[in-house]
Chain A
Amino acid sequence: MKKKNNIIKMEVPNKGMVGRTLSLMVVFGIVAFIVLVLQLYKVQIRDHELYESNAVEQQVRDTTISANRGAIYDRNMNTLAISATVSTVYISPAELIMYEEEDMRVMISSRLSEILGVDYDSIESKWLDTKSWYKTVAVKIESELADQVRDFKNEYDLKSVHIVPDTKRYYPNGSLASQIIGFVGVDNTGLEGIEAVYDKYLQGTSGRIVRVANEKGVDLPYSGYENYYDASDGDSLVLTVDDRVQHYLEKNLAQAIEDYQVQDGAMGIVMDVKTGAVLGMSSLPNYDLNNYLEVNEDTLSKLAEQGLSEGEYNDAVYDALLKQWRNRIISDSYEPGSTFKIITLAMGLEEGVVSENDSFYCDGTVMVKGRAEPIHCWSRDGHGEQTLAEAAQHSCNPAFVNIALAVGAERFYDYIEAFGFFGSTGIDLYGEGSSIWWTEDVFEDRTNHSQLAAAAFGQTFTITPLQLITAVSAVANGGYLMEPYVVSKVIDSEGNVVENHEPTVLRQVISEETSKRACAILETVVGSPGGTGKNAYVAGYRVAGKTGTSTDTITEAETGKKEYMVSFVGFAPADDPEVAVLVILDNPGGESGIYASGGVMAAPVVGNIMYDVLPYLGVEPDLGIDGESGIYEIKVPNVKTYDVAEAKATMENLGFKVKVVGNGSEVTDQAPHANVSIAPNSTVVIYAGEAKPDKIVKVETLNGMSYRQAKAVLEQDGLFIRSMGVPPSDALTIVVASQSISPGSEVAYGTVIQVTLIDNDSSIMEGAG
């Protein structure tokens, strides 16, 4: 071929080329496209759903909007727990690299550190994880701080600093009822107490923001793919607990710990006898719900004194933390001791094997089949001849052994079961402890009655305090074993009642008549002069109850050390019981000078609780029961501006002695102030023209003094006395166990000091052992 030819001569396609071109046209213009369309059909139509769902899964980001957690109220709708909106601040190192200027990092760190009070270095170290999109800087911060961070973020248009809403739980009463209420974790899930049990009600339903995001998780620009699902707020709870009752309970337990040098804590419960509703329940030391990871300060200082190594100290602190979270009333199984005699008494009466007219002789011991050694009464000398009521007053072991033997092991065992001592009580709280009992065949061994005999006075088994008070309430309320509960109502965010907890009768264990007879006998334990429970006396109220003093068998088994648990369970009014109170003091110290016994130590605590609680709950005092001699305090009237003679007469008519200071004819001032209550034969001072001395007085130590001594000491200082507990008398065994204002405190002249009197007579008080 020559180039020249190319220019002048046409080269035309030929037949062969036409065929080849047509074949190419078919292959590349038709077949190739059919193949592609088929493949597209496969991916887009046939497998569409598979790919779409996978794509959606990676594209869609779910953001949870947390629902407001429901509140917790006491039975009068006082707030015990409530949630508030707070913020969590986090930084995104990945976005720092993507969006921010290089020199911004240090500035952001220092400003955040400044605003949030977080260590600068710790923030700086968080930026190092450059792949991360989420590094938390501060959780649950208040809205003022969050606003400051937001302003800072907006000022520099920061993309790497984020503020997200969160909720925080507040407990306005701090440690009050801490073990009942419990707490929530950082994720707002209930971890303890009511917060945990009723979590699903309180939680509510979280809302969601479903949005489509790019591969980095950032919202798509110019797109409207976003769906909101509203959160529905959690339900609120109304408890059976009364914050005042709870406060009285905790106050008195704390006082007892101080007065009796209680080493291992005190616990108590106040129950509505008729319904099983828990009005108050506490185990001290408890904890501040708002700082639930902090150990009680007293506990810490006690631990610090023990000279432990660092490791031991840390372990001890951790144990203390767990213990203070623990609701010992429901969780800790213990040997009840003589308080259990209430149950033995009830079953004896119900079975008709004993009656009020029976007499029991106690020479200090009792022999039972299958046991070589005699069983001792706590009183080595014995109680001699006694009626059933006296046996209860004396807490006489041989008498109760005989009652149990008369009931018989089989029936006794059945009653234990019927009173609910084998299973859980069904309370709506987690962590109920289980009781430990002899197995049925051992207990009912016809050749060996020692198990039965010991059970009669509450030994060789363990039960939970909750089981005991529930059973005692059954004895007191006409025989109905109730299911204890702490939540009375569930209400939604609009206040509508979602669930109402009606009292649940599990079964009737004893007859109403037996119940009345048992109440009458138990009333004498407190009300009679020789009763071991006399320290639970509350003026104007008919208190019934039973003392208990027992060895802490679990500590003894673990350490060999003999430590005592002293307790008292009481209820009032005895003729129509409404409130039952159980108090247990774990390991009271011997150095308080007060005899370690349920009757001496625990009974007055119960009495004081009754004294606070009964009037508050509107239980009318029955002044008839004590007559004139039953009045141990009188309210001082206002006599200011009265004529001196008239004022003097008014005071004297009430039973006060009167001292007039000054020569005026009109009363210018008085001591004490009007409307405070003081002991009847106190000397009130009327100022006629002369000014009341404006001085400060130091309160003396009164503990251990007799009533008369204490009154004299106070009056000398220009202070007034008012007594609680056993009736004031000149008997030497009646001593001050507790005073409302601690020794050494400085108070104004004329202040009233309230003392608790107890009968410290070890000869009539069941002691340890």
Chain B
Amino acid sequence: MASEYDFPKNYGKGNGETAKENNLRDYSESRFINRGRIDLPFLVLTVLILTVGVIMVFSASFARSYYETGNAAGVFLRQLIFAVGGVALMMVASRVKPKTIRRYSRLLMIVSVGLLALVLIIGVIGGGSRRWINLGFTTFQPSEITKLAVILYFASMACRYKDDMKTWKYGIIPFGFWLGIIVVLLGLEPHFSAIIIICLVGGIMMYAGGSNIKHLALIVIAGGALLLLVLLTGGYTSERIAAWRDPMAEKLGDGWQIVQSLYAVGSGGLLGLGLGQSIQKHMYLPEEHNDYIFAIVCEELGFVGAVLILLLFALLIIRGYWLALHTRDRYSSLIVIGIMTLLAIQVFLNVAVVTNLIPSTGISLPFFSYGGTALLMQMAEMGIVLGVSRNIDDK
């Protein structure tokens, strides 16, 4: 057992001695400011995806903006401001030492759970659930913070209990305790998609952090059974499933959105109608600049454009995991894994919904979907990854 947790002598490309020295030097330089070179490929990919995303928000939103407000660029400009702010936030976040993040992760967790409770009391109702807190100038979903809190705090716990992660007591129960609280609070909103994402991310954090595979498998089986039960009995969700299985049959009802999405994706074909040329965005497809923005991407840029964008995401995610593999710091590695997994899960679920691979869940596409606070969160997360990258030399 113990040997498993020993530092691997031939880990990575460099040799252990140098890496150790580097790390030590970093930590000695400043208590708070993270220095070192940023990972350029990761930065470039992030900015590239963000740029394409903001452009697509403009293309997808101008029709509805025009019809509803007369100002075609309204949504776009707002998103652009948040994108610029997001880049700044990312750079700031990259300066925060992972050590510092770890120190405040527990507090963040408590605050986010507190906000989840608060939203049940003062939250804004929309679409039959209470998910948003109104800040006056914008609204935000506390569940966005919870996602990050779970990553940061679970990584912290996984480091703290690293020698005992194989046990129920340390490897499962502390994590399960927090997930339980979060699931209950989100269930009260209710916010089904957030539950799925947080459970998935939480589970992955436990897996990466070293929890016993057998224990996790047991929980996954039990959770899966529970999920199936909920899906089969819950009225609203089972309607969504019916619409997913045969959207055309429900074309004018629950299937409307997915059918319109498929029309958009399908009519894009190989090369698409051209940027700005979507027809489905003209009031046919609801949430066209939001959860369903990728359908407009497919319609306008075609299969080629959509695959290229997915390739950018894949490269970003792989680069992120690569960074996680190359950092010498366990906590840093875990938070990067968490952030990249969260990103991958959101991208996958969003695109899978838009192409009707899975039933509709209401998950937005990172960097693309319109939404200020969500974008700021994502940029902050990328900043954290970039911050980790500063401590890696052999990149």
Contact = CB atoms under 8 A, between A and B. Distances in A.
B235 to A, nearest CB: 28
B263 A51 contact: yes
A40 B337 contact: no
Contacts of B208: 17, 20-21, 24
B351 interface: yes
A372 interface: no
A43 B263 CA distance: 9
Interface string A12-35: 111111101110110011101101
A17 B333 contact: yes
A214 B266 contact: no
A3 B210 CA distance: 20
B60 to A, nearest CB: 14
A50 B266 CA distance: 8
B270 interface: yes
A17 B209 CA distance: 7
A40 to B, nearest CB: 5
B340 A44 contact: no
B266 A48 contact: yes
A59 B266 CA distance: 14
Interface residues of B, number: 74
A14 B344 contact: no
A402 to B, nearest CB: 82
A214 B278 CA distance: 11
A30 B328 contact: no
A9 to B, nearest CB: 10
Interface in B211-262: 262
A55 to B, nearest CB: 4
Residue among B159, B204, B208 with the highest chain A CB neighbour number at 10 A:
B208
Contacts of A221: 63, 66, 72
A214 to B, nearest CB: 3
Interface string B14-35: 0000001001100100000000
A221 B102 CA distance: 52
B267 A52 contact: yes
B5 interface: yes
A734 B114 CA distance: 121
Nearest to B31: A7
Contact of A29 (B207, B209, B321): B321
B324 interface: yes
B320 to A, nearest CB: 8
Interface stretch (B183-191, B311-319, B366-374): B311-319
Interface stretch (B81-89, B116-124, B300-308, B375-383): B300-308
Contacts of B395: none
A229 interface: no
Given A24-B337, A29-B318, A40 B265 contact: yes
Interface string B33-64: 00000000000000000000000000000010
Interface stretch (B133-141, B143-151, B173-181, B352-360): B352-360
Contacts of B72: 221
Residue among B209, B302, B344 with the highest chain A CB neighbour number at 10 A:
B344
B192 interface: no
A13 B284 contact: no
A124 interface: no
Contact of A28 (B283, B298, B303, B317): B317
Nearest to A224: B277
Interface residues of A, number: 52
A39 interface: yes
Nearest to A221: B66
Contact of B330 (A12, A50, A216): A12
Contacts of A220: 63, 279, 282
A709 interface: no
Residue among A33, A35, A50 with the highest chain B CB neighbour number at 10 A:
A33
Contacts of A51: 262-263, 265-267
Given A18-B11, A20-B207, A29-B344, A13 B330 contact: yes
A44 B159 contact: no
A11 B328 CA distance: 8
Given A11-B159, A11-B162, A39-B355, A28 B267 contact: no
A10 B328 CA distance: 8
A212 interface: yes
Nearest to B322: A25
Contacts of A128: none
Contacts of B111: none
B4 A14 contact: yes
A47 B337 contact: no
Contacts of A107: none
A1 B170 CA distance: 12
B20 A10 contact: yes
Contact of A24 (B63, B210, B265, B321): B321
Contacts of A215: 282-284
A48 B265 CA distance: 8
Nearest to A38: B357
A36 B348 contact: yes
Given A12-B328, A52-B269, A6 B102 contact: yes
Contact of A55 (B67, B263, B351): B263
A58 B322 CA distance: 47
A7 B347 CA distance: 35
Given A1-B161, A11-B329, A55 B264 contact: yes
Nearest to A217: B283
B262 A16 contact: no
B280 A55 contact: yes
A24 B341 contact: yes
A653 B304 CA distance: 108
Contacts of B345: 28
A42 B333 CA distance: 36
A15 B262 contact: no
A626 to B, nearest CB: 85
Nearest to A57: B263
Contacts of B352: 35-36, 39
A367 to B, nearest CB: 83
Interface string A441-453: 0000000000000
A547 to B, nearest CB: 72
A437 to B, nearest CB: 61
B313 A33 contact: yes
Residue among B159, B210, B266, B344 with the highest chain A CB neighbour number at 10 A:
B266
Contact of A43 (B159, B160, B344, B355): B355
Nearest to A47: B266
B344 A1 contact: no
Nearest to B324: A21
A43 B7 contact: no
B279 A52 contact: no
B340 A7 contact: no
A54 B263 contact: yes
Given A14-B6, A56-B267, A41 B63 contact: no
B99 A6 contact: yes
A47 B88 CA distance: 43
Given A29-B321, A39-B357, A7 B306 contact: no
Interface of A: 1, 3, 6-7, 10-18, 20-22, 24-25, 28-30, 32-33, 35-37, 39-45, 47-48, 50-52, 54-56, 58-59, 212-216, 220-221, 223, 225
5 contacts: A1-B159, A14-B330, A18-B325, A22-B321, A42-B355
Interface of B: 4-8, 11, 20, 23-24, 27, 63, 66-67, 72, 99, 102-103, 159-162, 204, 207-210, 262-270, 277, 279-280, 282-284, 298, 302-303, 306-307, 310-311, 313-314, 317-318, 321-322, 324-325, 327-331, 333, 337, 340-341, 344-345, 347-348, 351-352, 355-357
Q: What 9 pairs between A and B have smallest CB-CB spacing?
A: A51-B266, A214-B282, A28-B344, A25-B321, A215-B283, A55-B263, A11-B330, A29-B318, A52-B267
Given A18-B325, A42-B355, A221-B72, 19 more contacts: A10-B20, A12-B330, A14-B4, A14-B8, A17-B210, A22-B325, A24-B208, A29-B321, A32-B348, A35-B348, A39-B352, A40-B298, A40-B303, A40-B306, A43-B265, A44-B265, A44-B298, A52-B266, A213-B282
